[in-house]
């Protein structure tokens, strides 16, 4: 099984731990700013950010909206947007 840099488990490793309706914020990636460094994937505690083609993407089924990816992105390519219900 191939894993991303820093990953300790495959994406969606805990299939019964999907994010519920309680998530308030979700990350949005600006690909024009992204330098593909992988910091977001490395720091994500839920391992829900993976390289998908040329850019990283978020598996929103498992993202908890913690904001660590946005906080640690060196290019400010990730912003936390209020979840639309």
C-alpha span between 24 and 20 (Å, rounded): 10
Q: Does residue 76 lie within any of the structural domains?
A: yes
Q: Does residue 3 lie within any of the structural domains?
A: no
- pLDDT confidence of residue 29: 95
Q: Does residue 50 lie within any of the structural domains?
A: yes
- pLDDT confidence of residue 14: 53
Q: What is the pLDDT of residues 4-62, one digit of tens each?
A: 555 555 555 555 677 766 789 999 999 999 999 999 999 999 889 999 999 999 998 88
Is pLDDT above 90 for 77? yes
Q: Does residue 10 lie within any of the structural domains?
A: no
Q: Which helix (H) or strand (E) holds 29?
A: strand 25-29
Q: Which DSSP symbol is given to 16?
A: T
Q: CATH number, domain at 72?
A: 3.30.70.20
Q: Does residue 47 lie within any of the structural domains?
A: yes
DSSP string of 41-85, one letter each residue: HHH-TT--EEEETTEEEE-TTT-----HHHHH-TT--EEEEEPP-
Higher pLDDT, 18 or 79: 79
């Amino acid at each position: 099984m191939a894993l991303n840099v820093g990953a300790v488990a495959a994406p969606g490793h805990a299939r019964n731990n999907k994010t519920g309706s309680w998530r308030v914020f979700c990350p949005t990636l600006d690909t024009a700013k992204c330098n593909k460094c992988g910091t977001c994937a490395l720091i994500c505690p839920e391992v829900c950010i993976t390289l998908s083609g040329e850019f990283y993407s978020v598996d929103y089924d498992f993202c908890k909206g913690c904001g660590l990816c946005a906080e640690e992105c060196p290019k400010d390519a990730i912003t936390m947007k209020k979840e639309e219900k």
